Each structure stands twice: as C-alpha cells, then as structure tokens.
C-alpha cells in the first residue's frame, strides 16, 4: 500500500487536517497500517483507539482501525472520550501504543490523530518516518482483530484517587466536547456543589467553540459563576487536555498562573524539583518556582516538546500557556480533568480561595497571544531575520523557541507556530505604557521583514 499524505496534515506534534479537503478516510487507513507496521516491527501487537465527538470522527476511526487490522494489529476500541482517557488506556491496558482521533480545539471541520507509542509521545521525526514508510508501501500485512474496552469509569475513578477532596461550589463547561461524559461522571465523585454546562457531546459546538484559551469562549462560564456565586469555574477544550479557569470575580486564571498554583504542592512533595514551562509563560511563573525552591526550566512550546523535556529533567509537573498541564504521575501526559481535581486540592490546601491565590500574584500586564499570518515556508525565515537583527543590536535574547527578548520594560517573544502558517508573539511588562513599547518593538521588527499584523 502506497499513500502520499497531503503535506499540510503532517504536523510536528500530530497529524491534523480539514476533512474532505486535506484529510479523509484513506489517510486514516494509511496512518493505521503505517503505525501498525511500526508497532509490529518493534515487537508489539496491540493498539488502543479512541475518538472525540466531531462529526467526522466515527468514519475516520473506522478507517484507522481497518488500517491497523490490515497490519496485523489487535485493536482495543475504547470509544468516545477525551484524549487523556486514551493515554490512560494505553498505560492501564498494557497495550503497545494508542491513537486518538481528534481535532482538539481546531475548527469543527478539522480532525486528526494524536499518537503515543510505548507510553511516550509519537511526534516530529516519528511522524515523518511514518509518512515515508507509507509512501514507499513498506508496510506489514496480516489479519488483526478488534475488541472493545469500556475504560471511562476506571479513568474517572483514577482522577480522584488520594486523600479526600475539599468541598467547593464549581462550574464546569465542557463546551460540547469529548470531555462531557467524563465530567458528568467525575462530579458525582466530588464533594461540594457542581453546575454543568454543555456536557452533551455535539460536534457542531453550538454554544461556543471549545477552546478555553480564547476569553470569549468563557463567557457562559463567567455568567454561571456570577449568577450562582460559585467559588470558581473550569472549562475544557474539544478533547479534554487543555483547561481554562475563572475565579469568583470572573477573572481568567491563565495557564501559567494555574501552573504557579500547582507548583506549590508539587514542590512540597518533591523539594528542589524541576518544573517545566513553555517560552510563552510569564517571568513571574519562573520567579515563583525559584521562590518555592524549585528549578524553573523554560522550554519550547508544543505538548510533545514539553513532555519530552519533563522526562529528561525528572519534573513532577509541567505546563503551557495554552492550558496543557502535565503530571509525572500520569506518565507525563496532559489531562485537563486531572488538572481540575489538582486545582481543587491546591485551593483547599491554601486555606483560601482561587481569587485569593490570584490576588497574591505579582501585578504585570501582558498581551494575549498575537498572531501574524505568513506563508508556511516564510515563517521560520522571518524569525531568523529578527534574531540576526537582535544579535547585531546586542539584545538580551533567549533562543529556546524563537526569540524571547528581555528589556528594561519587560519581555517579548516571537516564534513560529507549530501548527499553523502563523507567527505568534506575546509581551509582558510592569505597566501599560511599557507594554505598548514592547508591542511597538515587535511590530517594528516584523515590519522590517515585511510582515504586518492585522488589527
């Protein structure tokens, strides 16, 4: 079987495209047979398969399984659920790998595949090698089989293992994504009072798009928290691996702020440990980790990058601005439902409220993530041009992932997006005037390379 994937679907961290345009069942079948071949050549036999709630997911799942079976793989179908449930199944069922059919937080007509092999992320060179193997037709053939496993109850029970949880009044917004049924089951195991929004799975996402990093998508949750006088609210993306949060005053608690809160119990349990965060995170987070006696590690954005670094430095905890939070006790995987439970524990241990923890954080102002559309081949070149100019100017630059520049006003970041034909930027400063100066610097650097930000 030879098959050439549309170039745009082979991302650094997963395989993702627009259904009917760049991604279809034939691609899913090829992914299945290619990945199945890699598993078999590594001495494995079994692969767990799950899916999210998008309209296209059942057909892609069926084709993916066809490909795996054609490679001689024993497929264990776990059905509809969040990506973290697939990661749980891949560990607990003792299979050799796993694939979740999901478009994550992308538009409703997108879809794709998140892959794990031997409890580790399958990304970058792994995906390139899979595509090359399929293009050559260098695949295994055989007659596999399909069984089913219901892991939802076991997955949710795992989320609440440990000491009793404190009772809070919490709002939960699943955004009609795949986390909905798990959230419904989870709150039955929690003390306190729980108010649910949009837990019915609907691939059209009729209420709001399931991306909690966009503040507009938290409007329903903010209203619920206010109307019911709740302690706080949490929201999830389309496949339940990114978390957003709102405190009792309706303020967004960003991904790096959540990581700062969770770092305290993590470092209490493992003093001096490394905590990993991506280059978009606030300087106040890295300062807080150090203040707590931990070792702050700044690393490249992208969940597979963060997972890999986490393993390298033995970190108990890691996170990204995008709301991915990673836990060593979950094998280094990101799980937004588990993050919500750990947030409940951390707020309870603090003796105060989430709003109190938010109030105690240093006062800085920051931009949201700024996006600049560029052609795919051009985005990396622009970053290199900016780096060359900064070097010539003698600027203080961290090159971990693009350019993170520290000045007297604060810091700014410019990097190439891992998943889109975009440059992304962010800045943080001590006051609005300083922030304006940093944003002007970003705009000027991009203008020098012929890129103008849409206002």
Catalytic residue numbers, as ranges: 104
Per the CB < 8 A criterion, the answer to whether 422 and 371 are in contact is: yes
CA dist 364 and 260 (Å) reads 15
Task: Please give, one letter per residue, the 3-state secondary structure of 324-348.
Answer: CEEEHHHCCCECHHHHHHHHHHHHH
Which of these, 79, 78, 137, 106, lies nearest to 15 by C-alpha position? 106
CA dist 27 and 112 (Å) reads 10
Angle at 51 between CA 239 and CA 72, to 5 degrees: 140
CA dist 332 and 44 (Å) reads 22
CA dist 277 and 354 (Å) reads 21
192-197 and 145-148 strand pairing? unpaired
Helix, strand, coil proportions of the chain in percent (round to 5)?
40, 25, 35
Specify the DSSP element, H or E, that contains 47. Answer: strand 46-51
CA dist 371 and 426 (Å) reads 9
Q: How does DSSP classify residue 19?
A: B
């Amino acid at each position: 079987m030879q098959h050439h994937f549309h170039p745009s679907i082979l991302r650094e961290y997963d395989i993702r495209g627009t259904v009917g345009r760049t991604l279809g069942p034939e691609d899913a079948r090829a992914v299945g047979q290619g990945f199945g071949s890699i598993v078999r050549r590594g001495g494995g036999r079994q692969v767990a398969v799950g899916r999210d709630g998008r309209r296209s997911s059942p057909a892609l799942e069926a084709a993916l399984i066809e490909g795996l079976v054609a490679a001689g793989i024993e497929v264990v179908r776990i059905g509809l659920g969040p990506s973290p449930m697939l990661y749980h199944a891949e560990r607990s069922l003792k299979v050799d790998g796993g694939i979740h059919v999901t478009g994550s937080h992308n538009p409703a007509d997108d879809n794709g595949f998140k892959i794990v092999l031997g409890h580790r992320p399958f990304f970058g060179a792994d995906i390139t090698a899979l595509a090359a193997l399929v293009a050559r037709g260098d695949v295994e053939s055989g007659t596999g089989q399909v069984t089913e496993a219901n892991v939802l109850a076991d997955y949710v029970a795992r989320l609440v293992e440990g000491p009793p949880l404190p009772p809070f009044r919490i709002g939960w917004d699943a955004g009609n994504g795949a986390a909905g049924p798990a959230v419904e089951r989870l709150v039955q195991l929690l003390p306190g009072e729980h108010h649910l929004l949009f837990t019915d799975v609907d691939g059209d996402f009729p209420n709001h798009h399931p991306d909690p990093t966009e503040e507009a998508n938290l409007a329903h949750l903010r209203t619920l928290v206010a109307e019911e006088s709740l302690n706080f609210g949490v929201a999830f993306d389309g496949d339940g691996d990114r978390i957003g949060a709102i405190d009792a005053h309706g303020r967004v608690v960003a991904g790096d702020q959540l990581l700062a809160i969770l770092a305290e119990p993590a470092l209490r349990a493992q003093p001096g440990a490394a905590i990993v965060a991506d280059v978009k995170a606030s300087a106040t987070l890295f300062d807080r980790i150090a203040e707590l006696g931990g070792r702050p590690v700044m690393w490249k954005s992208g969940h597979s990058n963060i997972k890999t670094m986490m393993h390298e430095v033995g970190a108990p905890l890691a996170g990204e601005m995008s709301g991915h939070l990673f836990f060593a006790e979950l094998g280094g995987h990101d799980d937004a439902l588990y993050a919500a439970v750990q947030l409940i524990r951390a707020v309870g241990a603090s003796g105060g409220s989430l709003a109190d923890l938010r109030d105690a954080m240093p006062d800085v102002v920051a931009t949201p993530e700024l996006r600049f559309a560029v052609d795919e081949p051009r985005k990396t070149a622009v970053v290199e041009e900016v780096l060359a100019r900064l070097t010539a100017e003698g600027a203080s630059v961290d090159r971990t992932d693009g350019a993170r520049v520290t000045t007297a006003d604060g810091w700014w970041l410019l990097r190439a997006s891992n998943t889109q034909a975009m440059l992304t930027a962010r800045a943080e400063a001590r006051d609005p005037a300083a922030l304006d100066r940093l944003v002007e610097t970003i705009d000027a650097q991009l203008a020098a390379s012929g890129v103008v930000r849409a206002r």
